[in-house]
């Protein structure tokens, strides 16, 4: 995650994460330092994640769709209004 933190990507989509459990995804999320949404799989294939930089904490996530087969993550975000 040092590459992602260094380049300060606001939203990052990952594929082939091979994340096996909620415990593992929680550990990776702590390492990242922002919000993250993961699919988990029962083997070391598939897996997807969306990472939101901590600068986006004001963005409200209204819905999350996680594929049971670990193939995709969808987020529905409400962006803040700027005047």
Q: Which of 50-54, 66-70, 79-83 has the lowest mean pLDDT?
A: 79-83
Mean pLDDT across the stretch 58-72? 91
- Residue 82: predicted pLDDT: 65
Tokens 């209004």 map to which residue? 81
- Residue 50: predicted pLDDT: 96
Report the predicted TM-score, pTM, of the whole model to 2 decimal places: 0.85
**4 pLDDT higher than 90:** no
- Residue 59: predicted pLDDT: 87
Mean pLDDT across the stretch 52-57? 88
Could you write out the three-class secondary structure of the chain? CHHHHHHCCCEEEEECCCCCCHHHHHHHHHHHCCEEEECCCCCCCCCEEEEECHHHCCCEEEEEEECCCCCCEEEEEECCCCC
Using CA atoms, how far residue 41 sits from 35, 58, 63, 66, 68, in Å, is: 20, 30, 21, 11, 8
């Amino acid at each position: 995650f040092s590459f992602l933190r260094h380049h300060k990507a606001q939203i990052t989509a990952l594929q082939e994460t091979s994340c096996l459990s909620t415990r593992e995804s929680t550990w990776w999320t702590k390492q990242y330092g922002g919000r993250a949404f993961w699919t988990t799989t029962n083997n070391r294939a598939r897996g997807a994640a969306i990472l939101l930089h901590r600068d986006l904490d004001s963005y409200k996530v209204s819905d999350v769709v996680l594929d049971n087969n670990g193939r995709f993550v969808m987020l529905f975000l409400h962006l803040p209004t700027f005047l």
